[in-house]
Amino acid sequence: MNVATTIQQVREQVRAWKKAGLTVGLVPTMGYLHEGHASLIKTSVSRCDRTVVSVFVNPTQFGPNEDLESYPRDFDRDSALCESLNADLVFHPEVSEMYAEDAATYVEILSDMPKQLCGKTRPIHFRGVCTVVAKLFNIVQPDRAFFGEKDAQQLAVIRRMVRDMSYGIEIVGCPIVREPDGLAKSSRNTYLNAEERKAALCLSRAVGLGKRMVLDGERDARCVVNAMTNLIMQEPLAKIDYVQAVDGVTMEPTDDIYQDVLVAMAVYIGKTRLIDNFSVRL
From 242, 240, 236, select the one nearest 195 (Cα to Cα).
236
b/e map of 269-280 (b: 16 or more CB within 10 Å)? beebbbbbbbbb
Task: Give the Cα separation of 181 and 262 in Å (integer).
Answer: 22
Task: Name residue 164's amino acid.
Answer: D
Task: Give the Cα separation of 53 and 199 in Å (integer).
Answer: 32
From 166, 188, 176, select the one nearest 30 (Cα to Cα).
188
Task: Name residues whose C-beta falls within 8 Å of residue 12's C-beta, 6 or more positions apart in sequence.
Answer: none
CB 100 within 8 A of CB 58: no
Partners of 54 in the beta sheet?
A: 28, 91
Task: Name residues whose C-beta falls within 8 Å of residue 110's C-beta, 6 or more positions apart in sequence.
Answer: none
Active-site residues: which are they?
37
Partners of 91 in the beta sheet?
A: 4, 54
From 217, 178, 22, 4, select the one nearest 94 (Cα to Cα).
4
